[in-house]
Structure 1
Amino acid sequence: MAVVVTADIIGSRRLLDRGDAQSALDAAIAQVERDLPVAVEGMRPTVGDEQQAVYPTLEAALGTILLLRLALPDGVEFRYGIGVGEVGTVPSTASDRGISDGPGWWAARSAIEQVETLQRRTAPQARTWVVAHESTDEVSPDAVRWANAYLLSRDELVGAMSERTRRLAYGRCLSRTQSELAASEGITQSAVSQALSSSGAGSVVEGFRLLELT
């Protein structure tokens, strides 16, 4: 079993400078993968505006996606489909490594489609969803439901944060002190504390810690 992520850029055709946006994405991905090196295969571009990655556990995928959301600047966003299921490689003369395929990737694509539906209908701030392929029994249906309930609330909180508050939450996820964050932002510690408490970032940080990745 694998936990895979398919991510695509929201509104890529409306971006004023696609190259600048890609540079911001690449920088954020590199930062997260340095700070939380849990991926089996790190997030890399595939085709068009899509990225893919492979993780050892659902918790690792959830934690990485959170940090990536917090690290990205305003105006550049992904939607994320997390798929749970087997993956394999299809031989191809066009690639020495072959083509990665299988139920995990199909589930991730289904999850992306679910996020798009949620954004249009009931949850505009939804960015992340989990789907376990019917062929896997290593993650229970209850675990998937609980993860999605958590993600809906988490995405709502993160989606309402300013870019600075996201940076502060990122730092707290990595156990940086409020004093350190205040110094890096050029603000007072009380301003850091107020920003974290008024935005609900404290709950997001505690949720990250419960994933037990660091």
Structure 2
Amino acid sequence: MFTLIGDLIGSREAPDRAALQRRVGQILDQVNEAIDTMQLLEPTVGDEIQGGFATIGDATLATLVIRLELAPDADMRFGLGYGDVTVHDGDRRPLLQDGPGWWAAREAIETLKGKRGTLYVGPQDGDDTPDPAFVNAFLLARDALVATLNARQHRMLLLALKGQSQRAIAEAEGITESAVSQAFARGVRAAHDAQITFGKAG
């Protein structure tokens, strides 16, 4: 399973931390409905979340959608891993579990401490798993590109990832289709297409 651990950045400085935590819960519910999971995304302890996916494409898509949903008021860093997972108590929430999959995701997010973005730790020579260097090269480029987009472009990218047409995005933003097309040409389309293409490859 591809494992995901997310860590909310700077929540202690949030004007209303409880409201932010509720917002995170709502976003996780939306992502659980939109993206196939092997283990539902859920809050764990402190500012962390966790979840599991069958593919690296779905795992990386979840990280992008969550960050876009949180923007511009908050952000989250993500550690992704791969490996077996053992659930010791399936009735407890969050689940009581461990295993190599979670150890890898924990290693990834600990490596990111103090930084933003997403990092993957996985088998170096796995026959059925992607090369970590390949995944992390994609994640570095994707996150750097998304960081160049403004708040409106973030919203456009999120709507595009949800399958909305440029016409629908223009209506949602109250602007012309031409303005949306220009925004897509300035990075929205590249970020969208890169994520979708990576998902198909992974």
The TM-score, its normalising length taken from structure 2, stands at 0.88
Q: Deviations over 1:13-34 (max 9, x none)?
A: 2212111211222222222333
Contact 2:25 2:43 in 1 (8 A): no
Give the equivalent residue in structure 1 for 2:193: 206
Give the equivalent residue in structure 2 for 1:48: 46
- Counterparts of 1:25-174 in structure 2, within 5 Å, are 25-34=24-33, 36-90=34-88, 95=92, 99-116=96-113, 119=115, 126-132=116-122, 138-140=128-130, 143-174=131-162
Give the aligned residue type for 1:50.
E
Deviation of the 1:172 alpha carbon: 1.6
Distance 1:97 1:194 in 2: 43
Q: Secondary structure at the match of 1:161?
A: coil
Distance 2:20 2:151 in 1: 15
Q: Which runs of 5+ in 1 are unaligned?
A: 120-125
Deviation of the 1:196 alpha carbon: 2.3
Deviation of the 1:70 alpha carbon: 1.9
Deviation of the 1:89 alpha carbon: 2.2
Q: Secondary structure at the match of 1:6?
A: strand
The TM-score, its normalising length taken from structure 1, stands at 0.83
Distance 1:112 1:182, change over 3 A: same
Q: CA RMSD in A?
A: 2.5
Q: Which runs of 5+ in 2 are unaligned?
A: none
Contact 1:85 1:135 in 2 (8 A): no
- Give the % identical residues: 33
Distance 1:96 1:11 in 2: 24
Distance 1:91 1:32, change over 3 A: closer
Q: Deviations over 1:59-93 (max 9, x none)?
A: 1101121222222231211100001111102359x
Aligned residues: 200
Distance 1:10 1:98 in 2: 23
Deviation of the 1:9 alpha carbon: 0.4
Task: Compare 165-174 and 126-135 and name the one that shifted more.
Answer: 126-135
